[in-house]
């Protein structure tokens, strides 16, 4: 007699299925058969499997879609829900990035990231790009990754090189230099990310370099090269934040001129991208993530995702931070659409 446990099945009946696949389109009155953690069949009037341990779900008047992908999120800010609701980007930079960020313990990071991941899943987001700029120590990095693993969400953890200003008595934080961050990022990658293959594991390893618009371009290029040497699957950064791009740095253009762009680069915001930068992003295969709620509230300008998509760039949406908004991903889609209409109409 076999000791192999019987599979568990769930059968969703008579749903409208959005496949997001141009070959299949939208399927009306369709069933979805799930075995354990895998979808094994999609079609109309699927037969029930012979096993008795099956859950039938009535999908009439329901829409089933693949899980959403959140392309930009600072998940450590979950504990600060509502704090930044009326902030400008200047307010956010001063208060979040130089005060709150310095106060976080590893335990704070774990709890916030864990709850944020569960909240995303509860809102239909099954994959997230975590731009983690709360790594005040190696313990903070461990806590963030462990929270994502415990929650069971898919995504890429991007180890942030940004150094939150240490509190006066934080001797260890002051000594956590960039070179030590590089060593710790390598430790995290080797210890927790294995082959770093999304086909084999839920979480993969990436890097978020320091803020490129506050650094000489040569330092940003160095950090991108260091990130590649670390084996980062994705390298993400904030750039071209609309009216706040006072110096018109054109970071992406500088990277393009140096031959640094590539499909592993993900740029967040980008409201002040030039036409030349959009063309460079398209040609390199890099991506742009818009965060409509944050960009409109904090004065970064209109989201650029539709403009970029019209020019052939790969684009995505992100929550950004729940210190100023919620987890409703459909709300981000609607807001991006309305912002685009506002510009065109």
* Same-domain status, 88 and 47: no
> Could you tell me the residue range of the domain that residue 249 belongs to?
68-344
Q: Is residue 29 predicted with pLDDT exceeding 80?
A: yes
Mean pLDDT of 271-289: 97
* Same-domain status, 169 and 21: no
User: pLDDT-derived band of residue 171, with 50, 70 and 90 as boundaries?
Assistant: low
* Same-domain status, 248 and 274: yes
The answer to whether 289 touches 304, Cβ cutoff 8 Å, is: no
The answer to whether residue 164 sits within a structural domain is yes
Asked which of 64, 94, 110 is the last residue of a domain, the reply is 64
Q: Is residue 303 predicted with pLDDT exceeding 80?
A: yes
The answer to whether residue 88 sits within a structural domain is yes
pLDDT per residue as tens digits for the range 131-155: 999 999 999 999 999 999 999 999 9
* Same-domain status, 96 and 229: yes
* Residue 212 tokens, joined: 């490129």
The answer to whether residue 177 sits within a structural domain is yes
Asked which of 43, 64, 85 is the last residue of a domain, the reply is 64
pLDDT per residue as tens digits for the range 81-121: 999 999 999 999 999 998 999 999 999 999 999 999 999 99
Q: How far is residue 339 CA from its own chain's centroid?
A: 21
The answer to whether residue 1 sits within a structural domain is no
* Same-domain status, 323 and 174: yes
pLDDT per residue as tens digits for the range 207-240: 999 999 989 999 999 999 999 999 999 999 999 8
The answer to whether residue 18 sits within a structural domain is yes
Q: How far is residue 93 CA from its own chain's centroid?
A: 20
The answer to whether 194 touches 200, Cβ cutoff 8 Å, is: yes
For the chain, counts of helices (H) and of strands (E): 12, 13
Asked which of 17, 45, 64 is the last residue of a domain, the reply is 64
* Same-domain status, 18 and 120: no
Tell me what percent of the residues of the chain surpass a pLDDT of 70. 96
* Same-domain status, 74 and 143: yes
What is the pLDDT at residue 262?
A: 98
What is the pLDDT at residue 175?
A: 78
Give the dihedral sign, CA 303/305/311/314. Answer: positive
What is the pLDDT at residue 3?
A: 64
Mean pLDDT of 60-81: 97
User: pLDDT-derived band of residue 243, with 50, 70 and 90 as boundaries?
Assistant: confident
What is the pLDDT at residue 240?
A: 87
The answer to whether residue 269 sits within a structural domain is yes
What is the pLDDT at residue 242?
A: 79
The answer to whether residue 48 sits within a structural domain is yes
Q: Is residue 247 predicted with pLDDT exceeding 90?
A: no
pTM of the model: 0.93
Mean pLDDT of 248-276: 95
CATH code: domain of residue 298: 3.20.20.140
What is the pLDDT at residue 241?
A: 84
* Same-domain status, 129 and 175: yes
* Same-domain status, 89 and 56: no
What is the pLDDT at residue 244?
A: 73
User: pLDDT-derived band of residue 176, with 50, 70 and 90 as boundaries?
Assistant: confident
Tell me what percent of the residues of the chain surpass a pLDDT of 90. 85
The answer to whether residue 155 sits within a structural domain is yes
Q: Is residue 1 predicted with pLDDT exceeding 50?
A: no
Burial 300-313 (b: 16+ CB within 10 A, else e): bbbbbbbbbeeeeb
* Same-domain status, 128 and 206: yes
* Same-domain status, 60 and 88: no
* Same-domain status, 160 and 296: yes
What is the pLDDT at residue 208?
A: 99
User: pLDDT-derived band of residue 206, with 50, 70 and 90 as boundaries?
Assistant: very high
The answer to whether 224 touches 235, Cβ cutoff 8 Å, is: yes
CATH code: domain of residue 29: 2.30.40.10
Q: Is residue 333 predicted with pLDDT exceeding 60?
A: yes
Domain count of the chain?
A: 2
Mean pLDDT of 265-284: 97
């Amino acid at each position: 007699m076999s000791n192999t446990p019987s599979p568990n099945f769930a059968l969703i009946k008579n749903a409208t299925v959005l496949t997001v696949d141009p070959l299949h389109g939208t399927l009306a009155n369709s069933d979805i058969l799930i075995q354990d953690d895998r979808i094994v069949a999609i079609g109309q009037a699927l037969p029930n499997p012979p096993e008795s341990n099956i859950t039938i779900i009535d999908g009439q008047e329901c829409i089933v879609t693949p899980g959403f992908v959140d392309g930009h999120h600072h998940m450590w800010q979950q504990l600060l829900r509502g704090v930044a609701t009326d902030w400008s980007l200047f307010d956010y930079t001063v208060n979040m990035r130089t005060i709150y960020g310095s106060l976080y313990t590893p335990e704070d990071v774990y709890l916030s990231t864990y709850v944020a991941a569960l909240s995303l899943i509860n809102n239909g987001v099954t994959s997230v790009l975590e731009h983690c700029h709360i790594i005040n120590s190696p313990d903070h990095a461990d806590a963030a990754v462990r929270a994502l693993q415990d929650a069971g969400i898919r995504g890429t953890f991007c180890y942030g090189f940004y150094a939150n200003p240490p509190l006066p008595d934080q001797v260890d934080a002051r000594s956590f230099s960039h070179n030590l961050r590089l060593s710790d990022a390598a430790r995290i990658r080797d210890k927790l990310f294995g082959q770093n293959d999304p086909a084999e594991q839920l979480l993969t390893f990436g890097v978020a370099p320091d803020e490129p618009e506050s650094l000489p371009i040569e330092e940003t290029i160095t950090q991108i090269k260091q990130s590649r040497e670390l084996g980062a699957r994705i390298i993400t950064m904030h750039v071209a934040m609309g009216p706040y791009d006072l110096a018109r740095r054109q970071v992406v253009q500088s990277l393009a001129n140096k031959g640094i762009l590539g499909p592993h680069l993900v740029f967040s915001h980008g409201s002040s991208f030039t036409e030349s930068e959009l063309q460079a992003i398209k040609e390199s295969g890099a991506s742009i993530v818009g965060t409509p709620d944050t960009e409109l509230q904090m004065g970064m300008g209109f989201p650029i995702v539709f403009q970029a998509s019209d020019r052939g760039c790969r684009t995505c949406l992100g929550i950004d931070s729940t210190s100023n908004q919620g987890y409703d991903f459909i709300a981000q889609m609607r807001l991006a659409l309305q912002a685009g209409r506002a510009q065109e109409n």
